[in-house]
């Protein structure tokens, strides 16, 4: 399984108590008519494709390479800015700790940022997983 699918599975588990307010889409957050799906469909979490970056960590004596691979996955959630969830902090925390479900990595981090436009708040979550 991929990191993206494992992450979606964990997010679904973590947000199971919020299933009446937030749903998780299996679709990618593509644009429809120039607008991202997460903006058209509030309260639906979209998880983007994995982005992989490989960097040389060091060169060995036999001229081999030891590389680090960083996999980045973004997730997006838009909500109504005027009628925010009462437990939005719990939702954000549950989304951030979903990274712990990914095993066999040297390091995993997650962070988020918000953007307010008109009457919508868009939460953008970034998950980074590094392997050697």
Percent helix, strand and coil across the chain, each to the nearest 5: 25, 45, 30
Continuous H helices in the chain: 3-14, 37-40, 88-96
pLDDT for 79 beyond 90: yes
pLDDT for 46 beyond 90: yes
The residue with greater pLDDT, 36 or 113, is 113
CA distances from 96 to 12, 64, 89, 106, 117 (A): 13, 36, 11, 18, 23
Domain of residue 20, residue span: 3-131
Continuous H helices in 41-86: none
Q: What is the domain-level CATH number for residue 108?
A: 3.30.70
Q: Among 12-16, 43-47, 80-84, 127-131, which is the least confidently predicted range?
A: 80-84
Q: Report pLDDT digits (tens) over 81-112.
A: 888 888 899 999 999 999 999 999 999 999 99
Give residue 125's region: left, alpha or beta (phi > 0; psi -120 to 50).
beta
pTM of the model: 0.90
The total number of structural domains that make up the chain: 1
């Amino acid at each position: 399984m991929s990191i993206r699918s494992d992450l979606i599975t964990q997010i679904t588990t973590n947000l199971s108590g919020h299933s009446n307010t937030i749903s998780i889409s299996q679709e990618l957050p593509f644009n429809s008519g120039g607008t991202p799906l997460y903006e058209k469909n509030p309260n639906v979490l979209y998880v983007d494709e994995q982005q992989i970056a490989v960097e040389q960590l060091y060169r060995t004596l036999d001229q081999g390479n030891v590389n680090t691979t960083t996999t980045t996955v973004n997730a997006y959630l838009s909500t109504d800015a005027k009628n925010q969830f009462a437990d939005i902090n719990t939702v954000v925390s549950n989304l951030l700790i979903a990274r712990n479900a990914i095993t066999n990595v040297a390091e995993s981090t997650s962070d988020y940022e918000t953007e307010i436009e008109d009457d919508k708040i868009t939460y953008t979550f970034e998950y980074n997983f590094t392997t050697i």
